[in-house]
Chains A and B, each alone.
Chain A
């Protein structure tokens, strides 16, 4: 089943006629901004899907449309094969917005209870789920009775995740779930996302932390300037070919090093060893031959494939380029 499907989804913002910007009146007669331009997405059941893109690419706009926060100006979208806004579908979705702010006057427990009520959950079930949620997201034992204004940023992100999961959703939508978290916090969020997948849930999240996305996503979509740049499984998107070889050696003679430096893409001499990046397998073989002959030490040899980050930068640059030429 297609959990999320968008067809030519578009969003154009019309600016207010008069706006105050930096203390000055600004007139924007009929100024429009295209936030989303005919976006076609498809998220399948049970997968972890990453929506990636630079700032202002349209990631949040897409998520806001799907969550019924804003309305599209063109195209259509369906969630669980029902049109947007269907309440029976909304009951099966958990959503965590970007940089969430919550009712800081509520205590942790009251807060989750309120959201449980909005899902129409009976009291007994709410109690049970609240307890489970505090444990799942790893909040400290005093958190339930602490008003949210006393929560740290990391704790807020966790309780935000808890409110998204309180209804045991089939689809979890997370907008930049890892923003503002330390590496440990990011890892915990990754683990939670993987656990949700194990439970058979579909996870749809936006991120600009590509290394994390690469670790957990089954499929990704890259958007830039409101348009879809690429979508598919990571193994298909990223080139399977070896891009280059990273070699670290120590104890090689000056003569050998000079020869290798000439052919290396990158050559960095460090205190104890030398880092050499070579393009071709033949060059690697030559280096290895010299290491053996001179009885030098091979510290490491790593064949490198294209990373998601490199792919992302290449694709985004490609889609940015022609338009900038037009501007020029």
Chain B
């Protein structure tokens, strides 16, 4: 286990010193910051827009890290022949695969946590700098309908914003450790589920890179991600095709092919839609016990499904890697 950890930490160090990671992170943070700005344009629910965009950005940029960093991890070791000095050491090849996987996962999760803090901070800050709240903070009501500024309103305005920014960041950090307000309740659950979905994608990126080039691995991983996210819809479409024809037996030609493609895709590719709890958290039903909180129940079946899937793919990757000759 300590050897897997050593490889994982080395992988993490390698990823952290990769510039691509920073570009992705900066871009993700920009999008979240931007969501705070454009939410003003939304008439009905600015908060929903920030949540939707923010959660999607965390998931998507986590995915991009898995692809762009992941597909190179094993390849670079083979290309630079550093693998020679690794496999000649007293380790099993599967330990190398596990180390690479966990190293990449640590990288993705650390990035997701940074993005999450920023995302929560945007939410809290946006909420605290609501026009009414700002006014209340810098003006005092002396008599009904009459207001008087507290000190210099301009200075107070900036001071208030600075204070709220610091507070928002603090609360953002606290939120990833379990603190919540009605606005952010259960959002961490969404992020963890999305993290589990990314673990599956990461295992696929590692699997592909054990036998193909980075470009092909990236394409394969991307396709897996798309089909995985859409496979419920694809299946629904196939069922509808069958229903329309009056049963699978009546399907013919291209329709039959489409039906079987959907069935095969559904059974080979992971159902990534299971790990997307965004809609529930942002637009879902209200929690019965607590008002103003969307209910996002923990879906243990999906968790087990995800873990089993990851284990299976890593086994497959190890089996392929075990048989490889490193020329």
Enumerate chain A interface residues (CB-CB to B < 8 A): 13, 64, 67-71, 87-88, 90-91, 93, 95-97, 100-103, 105-106, 110, 114-115, 117-120, 160, 163
Contact = CB atoms under 8 A, between A and B. Distances in A.
Contact of A67 (B14, B17, B87, B325): B87
Contact of A69 (B2, B10, B13, B326): B326
B311 interface: no
B246 interface: no
A88 B89 CA distance: 10
B174 interface: no
B91 interface: yes
B14 A90 contact: no
Given A70-B327, A118-B3, A120-B3, A95 B88 contact: yes
Contacts of B3: 117-118, 120
A101 B80 contact: yes
B84 interface: yes
Nearest to A164: B85
Contacts of A70: 325-327
B219 to A, nearest CB: 18
A103 B83 CA distance: 11
B86 interface: yes
Interface residues of B, number: 25
26 contacts: A64-B84, A67-B84, A70-B327, A87-B92, A90-B88, A90-B89, A91-B90, A95-B85, A95-B88, A97-B81, A97-B85, A100-B81, A100-B84, A103-B82, A105-B13, A106-B13, A110-B13, A114-B6, A115-B85, A115-B89, A118-B7, A118-B86, A118-B89, A118-B91, A119-B89, A163-B85
A103 B6 CA distance: 14
Contacts of B2: 117, 120
Given A67-B88, A118-B89, A118-B90, 19 more contacts: A64-B326, A67-B87, A68-B87, A68-B88, A70-B327, A71-B323, A71-B325, A87-B90, A87-B91, A87-B92, A88-B90, A97-B84, A103-B10, A105-B13, A117-B2, A117-B3, A118-B3, A118-B6, A160-B85
